[in-house]
Amino acid sequence: MTFLLSLMTFAWLAAFLLSFSTSTLGCFVLWRRMSYFGDTLAHGSMLGFSLAIALQINFYIGLLITVAIITILLFLIEKRSRVLHMDSILGIVAHTSLALGFIIISILANYVRVDVLDYLFGDILMVQTLDIYIIIALSLFIVVTILLSWKPLMSILINEEMAQVEGVNVPFYKSLLVILLALVVATSITLIGALLITALLIIPASTARRFAKSPQQMIVYSFIISNIAIVIGLFSSLYFSFPASAAIVATLGGMFFISLLFKRTDS
In tens, the pLDDT along 109-161 reads 777 766 667 667 777 878 888 888 888 998 999 999 999 999 999 998 888 88
C-beta separation of 18 from 230 below 8 A: no
C-beta separation of 255 from 230 below 8 A: no
pLDDT above 80 (res 34): no
CA-angle at 43, arms to 37 and 49, nearest 5°: 130
Residues of the chain above pLDDT 90, percent: 28
Lowest model confidence (mean pLDDT) among 70-74, 108-112, 167-171, 216-220: 108-112
With residues binned 3-state (H G I as helix, E B as strand, rest as coil), the percentages for the chain, rounded to 5, are: 80, 0, 20
The pLDDT, as a whole number, for residue 106 is 83
The pLDDT, as a whole number, for residue 160 is 82
Which among 239, 232, 244 is positioned nearest to 191, based on CA atoms? 244
Q: How far apart are CA 96 and CA 23, in angstroms?
A: 29
**Continuous H helices in 32-85:** 35-55, 59-80
The domain locations on the chain are 1-191
Which among 22, 11, 52, 16 is positioned nearest to 197, based on CA atoms? 22
Q: What is the CATH number of domain 1-191?
A: 1.10.3470.10
Residue 140's Cβ-side half-sphere holds a number of Cα atoms within 13 Å equal to 6
The residue among 167 and 59 whose pLDDT is bigger is 167
How does residue 84 score in pLDDT terms, banded at 50, 70 and 90?
Answer: low
The pLDDT, as a whole number, for residue 253 is 95
DSSP labels, 162-187: HHHHTT--HHHHHHHHHHHHHHHHHH
Tens-digit pLDDT profile for residues 213-257 = 999 999 999 999 999 999 999 989 888 888 888 899 999 999 999
Question: pTM for this structure?
Answer: 0.85
Which among 3, 87, 103, 83 is positioned nearest to 37, based on CA atoms? 87
Tell me how crowded residue 99 is: count the other CB atoms within 10 A of its CB.
13
Q: Which of the 8 DSSP states describes residue 81?
A: -
Q: How far apart are CA 147 and CA 25, in angstroms?
A: 11
pLDDT above 70 (res 2): no
The pLDDT, as a whole number, for residue 3 is 61
Lowest model confidence (mean pLDDT) among 35-49, 72-86, 92-106, 242-256: 72-86
How does residue 265 score in pLDDT terms, banded at 50, 70 and 90?
Answer: low
Q: Calculate the alpha carbon distances from 63 to 2, 71, 78, 196, 259 in Å.
A: 34, 12, 22, 16, 35
Mean pLDDT over 57-63 rounds to: 77
Q: Which of the 8 DSSP states describes residue 197?
A: H
Question: Which range is most confident: 41-45, 91-95, 136-140, 238-242?
Answer: 136-140
